[in-house]
Chains A and B, each alone.
Chain A
Amino acid sequence: METAIEVRNLVVERGKRRVLHGLTCSIPRGSVTGLLGPSGSGKTTLMRAIVGVQIVKSGVVTVLGEPAGTPRLRHKIGYLTQSPSVYADLTVRENARYFASLYKGITPADADNAVEMVGLGDAANQLVATLSGGQRARASLACTLVSRPEVLILDEPTVGQDPVLRDELWHQFRAMAAAGTTLLVSSHVMDEASRCDRLLLIREGALIADDTPDLVRASAGTNDLDAAFLHLIRTMEKTGVAS
């Protein structure tokens, strides 16, 4: 399978602390890859490095064959930050239309579609300041999806959403991947992990699993992903290497 994102020996330091310790992984095109790990394990830092907004100490990050952060990639990559980054004093529609306007060939109608896609059609004319936390997160997601990027980096897109909406969003992520989009989705909900084509599990800045959900389960000898991860972490702590 063709590779969309290639990370080699990535080292990132924030302040005096080393957040990523020489991480290497590759993400295939047209797939959904789940990025899992406890809070503070380096998920967001890895995503920021792929988007090209993170100052890195050493290592190489390549997206669609170009170094991460090059101007041409800005047309092709969409990034959803963990906390919603939308304008609270604009309506949902105005936000989506504004971010649409930053891309060539994306129309106001595309913006309205994106708002529908995240289930905010009825709240389109509401000011973001008046929305609930979950709605605000979806408004932010709409602004990321609006440009129909080839690579989507989504930092916890389904946090705080009700189960029905989460299911709908995952159906859309799957549909986008089927149409050729590459998605990297971070989450700490294990039932979402099983919806991914591949899983990356990071802990304390190092990769401890990079496999399909089935193989992760098989290697741990359990059907439960939660238990599988626990097993992997314990094995690694004992032996010092990933199993």
Chain B
Amino acid sequence: MSPRILGSTTKRILNQLRHDHRTVGLLVIVPILLLTLLYFMFKNEALLPGQPSTFDRIGLIMLGVFPFVIMFLITSIAMLRERTTGTLERLLTTPMGKLDLLFAYGIAFGIAAAIQASIAAGVAYWLFDLDTAGSTSLVILIAIANAVLGVALGLFCSAFARTEFQAVQFMPIVVIPQFLLCGLFVARDQMAGWLQAISDALPMSYAVEALQQVGAHADATDTLWRDLGIVVGCVVVALTLAAATLRRRSP
């Protein structure tokens, strides 16, 4: 890896994003719109005294889920484009290392996700009075880690798609099972044993648990740091697998 190539590649990816005004707009606005929808869905719910609102529970988790889903989609399409337009093959004939490219995507889209998550969190906390025991910055940190996980999985999955049609189909495969089993719909300890085992193997379960820790505790707990560590570990595994799919020689 070379810091010079890593830096210039990160800048190149951000430049591409910057030229695409509509995508930048969507990145910022879509999470806000969905949070607004969520807020009004639960606005009139009847709460018993002391019962936390559903928006506090779900809105918090959505702050971590949106960046994951969106960055997964954007990355798998961006990487697929690198493959289909021949720029990937060209890059692999230059002194660039495979990890330079993969880490550059992780950093560039991680920066985009940081901006996105900060704005979404800002709206959730100040406009919609989201209430968590822990700090907003921890929520944003977990959201960024989750976004980078989306990037890493997107880089890996794009190797198995030849067209954009195929690439978008990976979204339901990768995202929806994780979403259903992450503990949002059914608490993980109330699932059947085999479902719990699957849930334990899916990285988003840990990101969601980390967010729930922020929701319930004023200070960062050990569970939170362990969960965050697991998410980062999954990022490393996914990037390693993605590197294995980049071949300098092809048939």
Contacts and interface: CB of A to CB of B under 8 A. Distances in A.
Interface of A: 14-15, 51-55, 69, 71, 74-75, 77, 79, 81, 83-90, 94, 98-99, 101-104, 127, 143, 147
Contacts, number: 75
A149 to B, nearest CB: 10
Contacts of A94: 12, 15
Contacts of A98: 8-9, 11-12
Interface string B79-122: 00000011101111111100000000000000000000000000
B44 to A, nearest CB: 44
Contact of A90 (B4, B8, B15, B251): B15
Given A53-B89, A74-B95, A102-B5, A89 B12 contact: no
Given A81-B89, A101-B8, A89 B248 contact: no
Interface in B191-229: none
B95 A83 contact: no
A54 B89 contact: no
A85 B251 contact: no
B150 to A, nearest CB: 21
B123 to A, nearest CB: 28
Contact of B20 (A15, A77, A81, A89): A89
Contacts of B94: 74, 99, 102-103, 147
Contact of A85 (B5, B20, B89, B248): B89
B16 interface: yes
A79 B93 contact: yes
A104 to B, nearest CB: 8
Contacts of A86: 85, 87
A99 B12 CA distance: 10
A74 B249 CA distance: 13
B249 A69 contact: yes
B95 A55 contact: no
A90 B86 contact: no
B108 to A, nearest CB: 13
Contacts of A83: 86
B95 A87 contact: no
B95 A103 contact: yes
17 contacts: A53-B89, A53-B92, A53-B93, A55-B251, A69-B249, A83-B86, A85-B86, A86-B85, A87-B85, A89-B20, A94-B12, A98-B8, A98-B9, A98-B11, A98-B12, A101-B5, A104-B95
Contacts of A84: 86
B177 to A, nearest CB: 32
A108 to B, nearest CB: 10
Contacts of B85: 85-88
Question: When A and B form their complex, which 5 residue pairs have the shortest distance between CB atoms, in order from nearest?
Answer: A85-B86, A101-B8, A102-B94, A85-B90, A98-B12
A148 B94 CA distance: 12
A111 to B, nearest CB: 11
Contacts of B91: 102
Contacts of B87: 85-87
A15 B95 contact: no
The interface centre, meaning the residue of B20, B86, B87, B93 with most chain A CB atoms within 10 A of its CB, is: B93
B8 A51 contact: no
A217 to B, nearest CB: 35
Contact of B250 (A54, A104, A127, A147): A54
Nearest to B90: A85
B16 A90 contact: yes
The interface centre, meaning the residue of B12, B19, B89, B94 with most chain A CB atoms within 10 A of its CB, is: B94
B109 to A, nearest CB: 15
